[in-house]
A = this chain, B = another copy of it.
Amino acid sequence: MKIKLNKIFRKKKAMFLAYDQGIEHGPTDFNDKNVDPKYIINIAEKGKFTGLIFQKGIAEKYNSEIKKSKVPLIVKLNGKTNLVKGEPVSSAICSVEEAVGLGAVAVGYTIYIGSEFEEEMLSEAGEIIEEAHEKGLAVVVWIYPRGKSVKGKKKRDLMAYAARVGLEIGADIVKLHSTGVKKDVEWTVESAGKCKVVVAGGVKKNERELLKDIKEAVSVGCSGVAIGRNVWQASDPVLVSKKLRKVIWG
């Protein structure tokens, strides 16, 4: 079945609002406002994001608010807390079928390449991609090099490797952490081929620096961002969103 990327893209670019930090980091990332998914949905709508990333629980409990917002829903299928130490592993908590039932137009999955459990995640991602594609859903794969075996490796190589793994396993979009170096992003985008690349926002940083990084990334072929804390932790998230749209679509 033809994957309709345009459902989560606008003029070939993507701007996703990520909000899976509740399971990945816990509520320490939140304050009294942004702890509430409705606050996030509102930002996504006002900020004209092309996709909103939730775990299945939020997608279900706030389903009517999401539908009302008309922001396309991307359900993240796996997740883990940050309490567990050692080699990272994350298994599916939500099935593709359940995501479809929740109204998702795309699904997300994280793979920690380099982890001792890489094999498990690659294999599960393979099944998910097969099933999602059969149902016409796009798949966004978070690919993060992690674990003791990646210590000391060059960041540029790891970033390009992450992008390439996305292409090889059939991801439609790969989400990765950027080194922030233009040449690196360029090589990464080349490595990803026809698989789209979006960069993660990461920990909250200087706004100017963030926008400059994204602009540069987009200028060398990156399709956009999947950003969370830098938006919903901002004092004026809608304004930040506007600035983001400007650097992404010009």
A residues apposed to B, CB below 8 Å: 20, 22-23, 26-28, 30, 32, 35-37, 55-58, 60-62, 79-81, 83-86, 89-95, 98, 113-116, 118-120, 122-123, 125-127, 130, 133, 145, 147, 149-150, 153, 157, 160-161, 163-171, 187, 190-191, 193-195
Contact = CB atoms under 8 A, between A and B. Distances in A.
A137 to B, nearest CB: 14
A166 B95 CA distance: 17
A158 to B, nearest CB: 8
Given A83-B150, A118-B84, A191 B27 contact: yes
A168 to B, nearest CB: 4
A189 to B, nearest CB: 10
A163 B130 CA distance: 32
A169 B55 contact: yes
Given A23-B164, A81-B165, 8 more contacts: A27-B157, A36-B193, A55-B170, A57-B167, A60-B133, A83-B113, A86-B116, A90-B119
B113 A161 contact: no
A191 B21 CA distance: 12
A193 B58 contact: yes
A123 B167 contact: no
B26 A161 contact: yes
